[in-house]
Amino acid sequence: MTRPDLIVIGGGPAGASIAALAALRGARTVLIEKDRFPRDKVCGEFLSPEGCAVLARLGLLDALIAKGAMPMDACLLADAKGRSVEAPLPDLPRAGRTAFGISRAVLDETLLNHAASCGVTVREHVVAIRPLLEAGRVTGVTTRPANAGGGDEEVGATLVIAADGRRSMLQRALHPAIGDPLTTSPTSWFGFKAHFPDRTRGLSRRIELYVFDGGYAGLGPVEGGRLDLALIARVDALSACGNSPQRLFEERMLQNPLLAERLRSDPHCSPWKTIGPLRFNVRTPASHGAIFLGDAAGTIDPFSGEGMSNALRSAELAFPFVIDALASGGLTPASARAWSSVWRGAFAPVTRRARLFGRIFQYPRPASLAMSLLRLPHGARWLPSLVAATRTGVV
């Protein structure tokens, strides 16, 4: 293979979009993705208006709407007693208030196909297993076929971008002190998702958040007449239900009369998909001459509904630094500092706020208090501010 200018690890929203942008500028770009698309993923599949704005700029939003993306412009928050409060989504400057629900199978495949059509060499079912390091700088990666057939390969490039998600191989290799993300602690979270038949006609264009003892769930419409139910649960809540997402759903979530009404007695139409343990934190957006994007730079609590938008937007914000690094023969220390400061300014405060709100709503007492305040006369007007506080508004 000809030596590429740029290696991108990971073909999710962050990786596919930065690879497409770089290739359109003429960079020889290789994207390494361990899965084969389309593939399902645990996610609420709620694409906030900020992310929709990026997709519109990439020329993909209309195609996703044509594929059945479902619009949402209001949110509803319900607690375990079935009390609820509803409000329009915040109308953020330049992003508007319309979000879309689209499955990760369709969204991620559309983005990856777009990258390939822009000239990116996409290598699916290939895992980046370790970085190549020279004088403390990342100069490439060693890859391995995901199906164990074939040998390891070393690929060098001017710049390596890690967009390999919350368990980023590159973050762990360069910063072993961050620990093993697969270690479960008493405060660990697990994530689950299932699709249900939609008998609500698109949930009246709402995204709904359901708080229960030990976690919370998001319910939103996606293409194909389905509702996506994605939840995160503390490990103690999960173990109290025999580590079964179906029991957690039946014993804790369906106690909520509103959610029970939405899903009626439907058996869920897809098997539960599980991930975890999860950690929500800010990491390093640049180090050892490499750039980190999306969840690899910092993982936001899904309470915000901003993870995919942050991933897409981080790619756009990084683009000038990528072009500069390719022209300069690598990421200079000054550029690394400047990119880190841009990333932190855009995403660090909101990542911390989302974690705080996520924690408030995982415990019945603070959640109940927050709900009582929101249900006071005029209290509902605080709901958009609460939601907006967990959004970057960076468009």
Ligand X SMILES: Cc1cc2nc3c(=O)[nH]c(=O)nc-3n(C[C@H](O)[C@H](O)[C@H](O)COP(=O)(O)OP(=O)(O)OC[C@H]3O[C@@H](n4cnc5c(N)ncnc54)[C@H](O)[C@@H]3O)c2cc1C
By C-beta, is 50 or 79 nearer to ligand X? Answer: 50
The answer to the question of residue 305 lying near ligand X (CB under 6 A) is yes
The answer to the question of residue 302 lying near ligand X (CB under 6 A) is yes
170 CB-near residues (< 8 Å, 6+ apart) = 9, 128, 131, 138, 160, 162, 164, 290, 292, 296
The answer to the question of residue 45 lying near ligand X (CB under 6 A) is yes
253 CB-near residues (< 8 Å, 6+ apart) = 210, 212, 217, 231, 259
Residue from the set 12, 90, 214, 221 that interacts with ligand X by CB under 6 A:
12
Strand residues in 175-262 grouped as ranges (E): 189-197, 206-212, 215-222, 226-234
Q: DSSP class of residue 277? A: E
With CB under 6 A as the rule, give the number of residues binding ligand X: 38
Strand residues in the chain grouped as ranges (E): 6-9, 29-33, 46-47, 70-72, 74-78, 84-88, 99-101, 121-124, 126-134, 137-145, 153-156, 159-162, 189-197, 206-212, 215-222, 226-234, 273-278, 286-287, 290-292
The answer to the question of residue 50 lying near ligand X (CB under 6 A) is no
Least distance in Å: CB of 378 to ligand X?
A: 28
The answer to the question of residue 122 lying near ligand X (CB under 6 A) is no
The answer to the question of residue 72 lying near ligand X (CB under 6 A) is no
Angle at 50 between CA 46 and CA 56, to 5 degrees: 95
The answer to the question of residue 284 lying near ligand X (CB under 6 A) is no
Stretch near ligand X under the rule CB under 6 A, chosen from 176-184, 293-301, 323-331, 366-374: 293-301
The answer to the question of residue 285 lying near ligand X (CB under 6 A) is no
Q: What are the residues facing 197 on neighbouring strands?
A: 226
Stretch near ligand X under the rule CB under 6 A, chosen from 59-67, 235-243, 307-315, 379-387: 307-315
The answer to the question of residue 131 lying near ligand X (CB under 6 A) is no
The answer to the question of residue 208 lying near ligand X (CB under 6 A) is no
Residues that bind ligand X (CB under 6 A): 9-15, 32-35, 42-46, 127-128, 163-165, 169, 191, 218, 230, 232, 275, 278, 294-296, 302, 305-309, 311
